[in-house]
């Protein structure tokens, strides 16, 4: 592989209702500084520094969010922003980017990167991308990055890894025995105990030609629909596509899949409960992030995020999430973080302007 044919595709299509009130329809999670001082999409872009120049970084986002992408990543060429008229999960997004890159550089390798993950340190991640690109280029494999599980998560897909088939720059490439979608907790515990399972992080590296072949083989309707589509005129095509994840649509079916373990910090920051892992916690287990001052009395294991500089005073509470924006505050137990969507639904029902 040449250093000049690695492309990156940042997938920025998420709506992020689990981060209400910070995330809104008009400003989903990837555009918020939830995991650090910069919006997550900016951090994702920065992780590519020195590896992939802006000319070879594409961003796929919902039409409505293109102005946010331009403002967050002002150095990116405008023609590198691909707008989805509607969201259709990751397979159409991958296909759209693959055809676009094929037009520009048919002999290329691509890294597919969610815009809203935390991955540290960046240098280790770039080393993984380099190794994966070599493997994808030389052996035409579909590389997925496997994260060593730290707890029996029930919300992730798992990868059962097979033998180490190769090492690239000292980084092992492993066969994949199977994918398992969201196991129950007992099963997840058994997976972890076995030492053979990894989380599927949704980060992929492949040759442009390989993924297009695989799309043609496993998702022929999608391949056909986008093969001849003008990427600037997707309004007629895109809404008719079936929503499908690239994981289920291609990765679980292809024989070309290999896994590259990433033994460093990763988080998809799936809900407010991810903040302590990303930001740390104090001696009482409380985590405070964003722009807020915290004062506590007998409060422990709480998560506080603020955008408006206010003082948050917690007295005698535990395991609570408290989030402030300029015009709204959320209070819920950590155990209910996944249900924040229900507040969003309730606001939709009352046609609130705070969505």
Q: Enumerate binding residues for a copy of itself (CB under 8 A).
A: 20-21, 295-298, 309-317, 320, 322, 324, 327-333, 335-336, 339-340, 342-343, 346-347, 350, 352, 354
Smallest distance, a copy of itself to C-beta of residue 347, A: 6
In this complex, which beta carbon is closest to a copy of itself, that of residue 196 or of residue 336? Answer: 336
Of 186 and 327, which CB lies nearer to a copy of itself in the complex structure? 327
The smaller minimum CB distance to a copy of itself, of residues 63 and 293, is found at 293
Q: For a copy of itself, give the closer residue by CB, 14 or 21.
A: 21
CB of 188 to a copy of itself, least distance (A): 24
Minimum distance from residue 289 beta carbon to a copy of itself (Å): 15
- For the stretch 130-133, contacts whose Cβ atoms lie closer than 8 Å and that sit 24 or more positions apart, written own/partner, are 130/51, 130/169, 131/168, 131/169, 131/171, 131/173, 131/260, 132/168, 132/173, 132/205, 132/260, 133/1, 133/6, 133/109, 133/205
CA angle 49, 51, 52 (to 5 degrees): 85
**Contact (Cβ atoms closer than 8 angstroms) between residue 2 and residue 11:** no
- The least distance separating a copy of itself from the CB of residue 287, rounded to whole angstroms, comes to 15
Residue 242 or 341: which CB sits closer to a copy of itself?
Answer: 341
Q: CB-wise, 82 or 343, nearer to a copy of itself? A: 343
Q: Tell me how far, at minimum, the Cβ of 293 lies from a copy of itself, in Å.
A: 8
Cβ-Cβ contacts under 8 Å for 123 (sequence gap 6 or more): none
Residue 111 or residue 343: which is nearer to a copy of itself going by CB?
343
Comparing C-alpha atoms, which of 12, 84, 14, 10 is closest to residue 270? 14
**Minimum distance between the CB of residue 39 and a copy of itself, rounded to whole angstroms?**
23
The secondary structure element, H or E, covering residue 342 is helix 340-349
The separation between CA 68 and the C-alpha centre of its own chain, rounded to angstroms, equals: 17
Shortest distance, CB of residue 78 to a copy of itself, whole angstroms? 36
Peptide bond into 98 cis (omega under 30): no
* CB 109, CB 207: distance < 8 Å: yes
Instruction: Confirm if 203 and 111 have CB atoms less than 8 A apart.
Output: yes
């Amino acid at each position: 592989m040449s250093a000049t044919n690695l492309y990156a595709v940042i997938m920025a299509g998420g709506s992020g209702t689990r981060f209400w009130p910070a995330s809104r329809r008009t400003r989903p999670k990837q555009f918020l500084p939830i995991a650090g001082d910069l919006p997550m999409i900016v951090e994702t872009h920065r992780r590519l520094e020195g590896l992939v120049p802006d000319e070879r970084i594409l961003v796929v986002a919902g039409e409505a969010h293109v102005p946010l992408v331009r403002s967050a990543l002002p150095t990116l060429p405008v023609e590198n922003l691909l707008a989805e008229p509607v969201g259709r999960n990751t397979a159409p997004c991958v296909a759209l980017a693959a055809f676009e890159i094929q037009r520009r550089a048919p002999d290329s390798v691509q890294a597919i990167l969610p815009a809203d993950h935390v991955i540290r340190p960046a240098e280790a991640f770039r080393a993984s991308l380099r190794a994966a690109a070599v493997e994808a280029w030389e052996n035409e494999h579909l590389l997925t990055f496997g994260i060593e599980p730290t707890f029996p998560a029930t919300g992730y897909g798992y990868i059962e890894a097979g033998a180490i088939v190769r090492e690239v720059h000292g980084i092992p490439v492993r066969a994949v025995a199977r994918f398992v979608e969201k196991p129950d907790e007992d099963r997840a515990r058994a997976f972890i105990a076995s030492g053979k399972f990894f989380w599927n992080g949704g980060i992929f590296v492949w040759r442009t030609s390989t993924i297009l072949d695989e799309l043609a083989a496993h998702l022929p309707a999608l391949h056909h629909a986008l093969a001849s589509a003008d990427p600037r005129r997707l309004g007629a095509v895109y809404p008719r596509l079936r929503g499908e994840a690239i994981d289920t649509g291609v990765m679980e079916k292809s024989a070309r899949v290999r896994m590259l373990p990433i033994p460093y910090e990763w988080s998809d920051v799936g809900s407010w409960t991810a903040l302590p892992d990303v930001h740390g916690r104090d001696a009482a287990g409380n985590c405070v992030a964003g722009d807020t001052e915290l004062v506590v009395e007998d409060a422990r294991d709480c998560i506080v995020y603020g955008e408006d500089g206010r003082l948050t005073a917690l007295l005698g509470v535990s395991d609570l999430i408290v989030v402030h924006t300029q015009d709204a505050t959320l209070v819920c137990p950590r155990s209910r973080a996944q249900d924040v969507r229900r507040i969003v639904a309730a606001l939709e029902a009352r046609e609130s302007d705070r969505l």
